[in-house]
Amino acid sequence: MLGRHCLRAVLLAGLFVPLASCGGDGLSKIVLAPETASVTVGQVVCFTAWGYYGNSSKPMYNKNITNSVTWGLASSALAGYSDSPGCYMAVGVGSTTIGASAPGYNGTIGASAAVTVEAAATTTTTRTEPKASEQ
């Protein structure tokens, strides 16, 4: 006896391209860690994307999907850092949002995290010359 199957697909340039199975345990939620971050200009901040999978008939489980999501920035206070997905260098003062998205069970799933970038602390050095009597 054959089981009932459900497949979501699109017709792309004459090709049938499957997107996701309807009966499986597809991605249902993304959570970014940390949820908020505060850094100074010049620092690097890295986020981890956790994917939550499951549906009403299967138990929920999660896994690290940092390398599988599409990352995005809301402003230019941060810039992508090297080839490390989810890592950004603070390049300007301000607040911004980091976003991550991926195809999910019922369409695109997304999550975001808030980042505040502050100016780097400056230090001043005061030099005092010894008095002639102390030499």
* Residue 2, domain member (yes or no): no
50 close to 33: Cβ distance less than 8 angstroms: yes
pLDDT of residue 60: 85
Residue 57 lies in a domain: yes
Domain harbouring 58, CATH code: 2.60.40.10
What tokens does 105 get? 């069970």
Domain count, the chain: 1
Instruction: For the chain of 135 residues, list the mean pLDDT of each consecutive stretch of 10.
Output: 40 43 71 96 94 83 95 85 85 92 91 94 68 64
- State which residues form the domain around 31: 24-120
Any domain includes 67: yes
What pLDDT does 86 receive?
93
The edge-to-edge listing of strands for the beta sheet with 36-40 is: 36-40, 107-118, 94-104, 70-73
Residue 54 lies in a domain: yes
Asked whether residue 6 is domain-assigned, the answer is no
pTM of the model: 0.69
Q: In angstroms, rounded to a whole number, what is the distance separating the alpha carbons of residues 27 and 85?
A: 19
**Domain presence at residue 40:** yes
Query: Does any domain span residue 85?
Result: yes
